[in-house]
Amino acid sequence: MKNFALIGASGYIAPRHMRAIKDTGNRLIAALDPYDGIGIMDSHFPEASFFTEFERFDRFVDKWHRDSGNKIEYVSICSPNYLHDSHIRFALKNGADAICEKPLVLNPWNIDQLRLIEKETGQKIYNILQLRLHDSIIALKKRIAKELKENPNKVYDIDLTYLTSRGKWYFVSWKGDQTKSGGIASNIGVHFFDMLCWIFGEVEENKVHLKTADANAGYLKLKNANVKWFLSVNYDYIPNEIKDKGLTTFRSITVNGEAIEFSGGFTELHTRSYEQIIKGNGFGLDEAYGSINTVSQIRNLEPLGLVGDYHPFCK
């Protein structure tokens, strides 16, 4: 049985980590979150210690392993994106591996720093990239790999459209603050960019057509694909036929016009990620680097407007 600590324990995604710790037969020793609305702990680890102050959490973790002679083997990190690298450093310097939510960090040079600390401490950093463990995505990767073996220069046309709806709170919270979340492409798009590059190859060209607080759109030329992408948190972008069904999210990926179905099968993916990490097969800094580099570039590129290969949703 492995011992875990959890940072950012009161937020939206943390219960999936609690469940993954439990489902993989491990235990949570301590949790940290400045917000104390954390009754969810009772469903998973009522016996875990909980702290709202970092310094008390730090003291506990240090004392716990000295007193018990046991190790906290993993620190799971579900805090806001801009805090990830600091929380990862805490984990590694305390002799634990880090399991960190996406985006691992905001910029590629943060990864370079973390690489040094991995080397110094001998501990590992794992990133949750759960789409790589989704059955439909794995099937797509296998299919494309087979096709590319026969025709290595084949180039696919991809449309990535992810439209969701977030209320006013989003823009007040850290998620709506580019310096904390990295912006929409980093916070929402990073999963998809990672998945597309995993299947269709490295980014060769990166263009941004639209960049507003609630929508980002652009074009990526990958080794084997041209991708027009559009991401939004604004309800107004959702097509009327979707709104008429009472839905507030629309997600679509097409490859040469063919829709890739991957709407279900998400809830278990954190547990699958943990199973792989514990077996030593998690996704590390090298796997995270490409998509972090892409979203960092997107953040810094000037939008071109409606010129070239822009997504049809751009207005």
Is residue 15 within the footprint of ligand NAD (CB under 6 A)?
A: no
Residue 63's CB is within 10 A of a number of other CB atoms, namely: 10
Give CA–CA dist 269/102, Å, rounded.
13
For residue 221, the cross-strand partners are: 205, 226
- Binding marks (x or -) toward ligand NAD, 171..210, rule CB under 6 A? ----------------x-----------------------
Of 67-75, 79-87, 210-218, 281-289, which segment contacts ligand NAD by CB under 6 A? 79-87
Of 8-16, 67-75, 111-119, 162-170, which segment contacts ligand NAD by CB under 6 A? 8-16
Of 80-88, 219-227, 251-259, 295-303, which segment contacts ligand NAD by CB under 6 A? 80-88
Question: Residue from 4, 5, 10, 61 that binds ligand NAD (CB under 6 A)?
Answer: 10
Name residues whose C-beta falls within 8 Å of residue 81's C-beta, 6 or more positions apart in sequence.
101, 103, 105, 106, 174, 180, 181, 182, 186, 187
Is residue 81 within the footprint of ligand NAD (CB under 6 A)?
A: yes
Q: Are 21 and 27 in contact (CB under 8 A)?
A: yes
> Exposure of 295 by Cβ count < 10 A (0-12 exposed, 13-18 middle, 19+ buried)?
buried
Is residue 169 within the footprint of ligand NAD (CB under 6 A)?
A: no
Q: How far is the CB of 315 from ligand NAD (least distance, A)?
A: 27
Is residue 128 within the footprint of ligand NAD (CB under 6 A)?
A: yes
Relative to beta strand 74-77, strand 3-7 is: parallel
Of 31-39, 110-118, 137-145, 306-314, which segment contacts ligand NAD by CB under 6 A? 31-39
Is residue 8 within the footprint of ligand NAD (CB under 6 A)?
A: yes
Query: CA 137, 237, 227: angle at the middle one, nearest 5?
Result: 40
For residue 231, the cross-strand partners are: 162, 216
Q: Which residues are near ligand NAD by CB under 6 A?
A: 7-8, 10-13, 32-35, 78-81, 83, 101-102, 128, 130, 187
